[in-house]
Chains A and B, each alone.
Chain A
Amino acid sequence: MKSILNILSVDDDPRILKAFEAALQQKGYRVFITTDPTKVAEVINDNKIDLVMLDVHMPEKNGIEVFKELKKKYQSLPVLFVTAYPKSFSLHSQEMVRMWENEFADGETDILYKPFGVDALYQKVEGLIGSGDESDS
């Protein structure tokens, strides 16, 4: 039986969220979106989320803080950072190296730099949770 994979996308830009939603739904994923990073835990608690897509720079709370909180509670939850390169990570470069050696070591995290093509998005998502339009039976 086919089970639908659920993705939560978090970005402060609603236009980006709408684009992600449309692109990922086309591939058979169920997509939840929020511009409010403080609501991530709530959405995860209410829904069976298979992947979280996180922007890094958000005014309320940055993606790295959200990621650290997520990893404390949901250690094996796959996360895809979606961020502008090199602006975002260069501001957190030492922190990123430390996270690479710790929170990223289990291979459940990946990064996608903006701008990117829709194929690159599909490739990263499929590499983390599998294809949305294939039966899992």
Chain B
Amino acid sequence: MTSQLSRVEIYRQVRVVLVRHLIDLGRLTIRISLNHLILYGSLLRLPGCTAKLTPMIVMAIFSELSQVPGIKRVDADLENWRRDDRFGAWHPFDKSAQPEAVRESSKEITPEVFDVADDNKDATPPSA
């Protein structure tokens, strides 16, 4: 029970950091494996938030994430930000502009997609 609870708690604390910086959680996938945190997707502010993300803010976010108890390593495979391997600085990046061969390796495969059109809404009654 402890490991499961602490894992949920680590996820919660990661979300606390991201929410504090008004990051749109819907555009991110958070994965934690052992003590390794990886962020996938796009690091963007919420719709309606006028303050833009800057390299300094992104650096601060990753610094705070690395300080979450239980996290020893933080990595990211983001669509719109990339870290310079030599200097550690973050800069805006457009992954979709990369050649297909580069993008292929990170393509997520999903067995099923929930994408139901908004018609026929007045059907069955609730079962709960």
A interface residues with partner B (beta carbon < 8 Å): 8, 12-16, 19-20, 23, 32-36, 39, 43, 59, 81, 83, 85-86, 89-90, 93-94, 96-97, 100-101, 104-121, 123, 126-131, 134, 136-137
The CA of A86 and the CA of B27, in the complex, are separated in Å by: 11
- 15 CB contacts below 8 A, A to B, read A14-B126, A15-B123, A23-B112, A32-B128, A81-B26, A100-B19, A105-B19, A106-B16, A107-B11, A110-B15, A111-B26, A112-B26, A116-B113, A118-B110, A123-B29
Asked if residues B111 and A118 are in contact (CB atoms below 8 Å), the reply is yes
Known: A33-B126, A107-B16. A127 touches B11 (CB 8 A): yes
In angstroms, Cα B27 to Cα A85, docked, is 9
Report, as a range, how many residues of chain B touch the other chain. Answer: 35 or more
Report yes or no: B126 in contact with A118, Cβ–Cβ below 8 A: no
User: How many cross-chain pairs have Cβ atoms below 8 Å apart between A and B?
Assistant: 134
Q: Hey, what's the 0/1 contact readout for B103-123 against A, CB within 8 Å counting as 1?
A: 000001011111110101101
Q: With CB as the reference atom, state the residue of chain A lying closest to B14.
A: A107
Q: Beyond the given A127-B8, A137-B1, could you list 12 further A-B residue pairs with CB under 8 A, ordered by the A residue number?
A: A12-B121, A15-B116, A32-B128, A33-B126, A33-B128, A90-B48, A105-B16, A108-B12, A111-B26, A117-B110, A117-B113, A136-B5
When chains A and B are docked, how far (Å) is the Cα of A107 from the Cα of B49?
19
Asked whether, in the complex, the Cβ of A35 is within 8 Å of the Cβ of B118, the reply is: no
Tell me the complex Cα distance, A8–B16, Å. Answer: 23
Which residues on the B side are within 8 Å of A106 (C-beta)? 12, 16
Query: Does B124 make an interface contact (CB < 8 A)?
Result: yes
Contacts of B112 in A (CB 8 A): 23, 117-118
**Residue in chain A with minimal CB distance to B50:** A97
Whether B83 is near chain A, meaning CB under 8 Å from some CB there, is no
A114 partner residues in chain B, CB cutoff 8 A: 114-115
**What CA separation (Å) do A123 and B14 show in the bound complex?**
14
B31 within 8 A of A: yes
Report Cα–Cα, A83/B27, bound state, in Å: 12
CA distance in complex: A59, B122 (Å): 11
B residues less than 8 Å from A131 (CB atoms): 4
- CB B76 to nearest CB in A, in angstroms, measures 15
